[in-house]
Amino acid sequence: MNRKAGAGRAALALLAYAAALTAVAWRQSTTRETMGEINRLSRELAVASDLREELARELLDLEERRWVAAEAYRRLGLRPPSEKEVVIASGGSR
Rounded Cα distance, 42 and 48, in Å: 10
Of 81, 76, 87, 51, nearest to 68 by C-alpha is 76
Residue 91 has pLDDT above 90, yes or no: no
Residue 46 has pLDDT above 80, yes or no: yes
Confirm if 46 and 52 have CB atoms less than 8 A apart.
Answer: no
- Report the alpha-carbon angle 61-73-76, nearest 5: 110
- Domains of the chain, by residue range, sit at 2-78
Rounded Cα distance, 57 and 14, in Å: 64
pLDDT tens by residue, 13-25: 999 999 999 999 9
Rounded Cα distance, 68 and 64, in Å: 6
pLDDT at 13: 92
